[in-house]
Amino acid sequence: YLFRFQQKLCGTSPCPSAASCVPTIDGKLRCVCPANWTRIESCERDTDECSSGSHDCSADAYCNNTVGSFICTCKAGFSGDGKKCKRFRFHWALNGSDLNVSLYNGASYQNTDGRKVLYLNGSRHSYAETPALPIRVISFSIMCWINVLSLSSDHQVHIYSDWSEPHQFRIFIYGSHKICANLRNSFGATREMFNLCGG
């Protein structure tokens, strides 16, 4: 006798109409939905929210359809959760007009020659802080204009730094008005430090 295993288990059509009945080796059955359909008991057809426009992703985000849902991801140059994306600010006005710059320990904006400029009061702990950015590039440039009014020979004044890992750097003025930089890469077991000074 030839036992029709599939007919015996699947003969009563136990699966939803769109699903295929597949017997398993252990004598049970499994309902399999067609490709690109949701994997729920009713085997409903998956809705592509991205193509249909029924998603709530930002105009500055990519919509990626998934089975039963979608994922929003901000485009390059933007940050956020995908539903709200903001353009990265890669420059800050250090004249008091940028509300995202915070001043600490005596740093202030002062009017000089008709311009409002950032002043650091000369203490080692006086600084301005810009927002953190998730920079996803291999290289970038930092440009700033600095006028040193006075500086003791053994005093180090930081201009800009990011000492978070794995890539760390700081730019500072040292000694007799030398501009210096420390660069460190802390990948792996080594923590190589490079020092550059000029001026």
pLDDT, position 108: 84
pLDDT, position 137: 56
pLDDT, position 57: 95
Return averaged pLDDT per consecutive 10 residues of the chain, 199 residues in all. 47 69 73 66 72 92 88 85 79 69 82 79 71 60 66 66 71 75 70 75
pLDDT, position 62: 94
pLDDT, position 4: 43
Beta-carbon contacts of 165 under 8 Å, excluding residues fewer than 6 positions away, are: 186
pLDDT, position 77: 75
Strand partners, 66: 69
pLDDT, position 1: 31
